[in-house]
């Protein structure tokens, strides 16, 4: 019973780490990556659609993203969506493809990004701690209903705490890696 609780809550902690990594991938760190466009939605026949589903996204150079729409008619729509996005990039179209030049980051912008990186890491830690609280509550309910002993309950709560410690370390390692990437010149 407690093993099931531990397994399901560890799964939720893993998902928090994955979500953090996805968030970090969409942060512009001075290098081109197709993940930058993950949150850019294009109005495609009335439905908001991610760019990577309606166009081929490639990185031919470290500071360049090349977007080749599958239909030329949506080229302008993609340009508009990129300009409206929070990326702060200017699309350059040649009629068949869009090129996005990724400018080098200023020191000020790097510091802003580090703050964002830290905030997202803290959000992930809060999510992991919430999972711990939920797990501990479930274990305490089992103890109250006499389905597990007090010792088993304590061991289960200690196991959840060990998982929390493990995933908090993962969040910190991921955060440090992203900070290093952002601060690279």
pLDDT of 29 higher than 70 = no
Three-state DSSP at 171 gives helix
pLDDT band at 37 (very low <50, low <70, confident <90, very high): confident
pLDDT digits (tens, 9 = 90+) for 94-153: 888 999 888 777 888 788 888 989 999 999 999 999 999 999 999 999 999 999 899 999
Query: Model-level pTM?
Result: 0.70
pLDDT band at 168 (very low <50, low <70, confident <90, very high): very high
Q: Name all domains of the chain by residue range, CATH numbers in brackets.
A: 1-28+106-184 (1.10.132.20), 34-101 (3.30.1360.40)
């Amino acid at each position: 019973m407690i093993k099931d609780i531990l397994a399901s809550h560890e799964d939720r902690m893993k998902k928090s780490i994955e979500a953090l990594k996805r968030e970090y991938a969409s942060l512009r760190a001075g290098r081109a990556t197709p993940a930058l466009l993950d949150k850019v939605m294009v109005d495609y026949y009335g439905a908001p659609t991610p760019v990577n589903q309606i166009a081929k996204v490639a990185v031919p150079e470290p500071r360049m993203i090349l977007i080749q729409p599958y239909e030329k008619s949506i080229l302008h729509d993609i340009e508009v969506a990129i300009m409206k996005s929070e990326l702060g990039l200017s699309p350059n179209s040649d009629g068949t493809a869009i090129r996005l030049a990724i400018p080098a980051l200023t020191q000020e912008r790097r510091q802003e990004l580090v703050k964002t990186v830290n905030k997202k890491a803290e959000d992930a830690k809060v999510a992991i701690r919430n999972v711990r609280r939920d797990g501990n509550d479930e274990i305490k309910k089992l103890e109250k209903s006499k389905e597990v002993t007090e010792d088993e309950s304590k061991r289960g709560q200690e196991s959840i705490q060990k998982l929390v410690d493990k995933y908090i370390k993962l969040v910190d390692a991921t955060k440090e890696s992203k900070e290093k990437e952002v601060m690279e010149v």
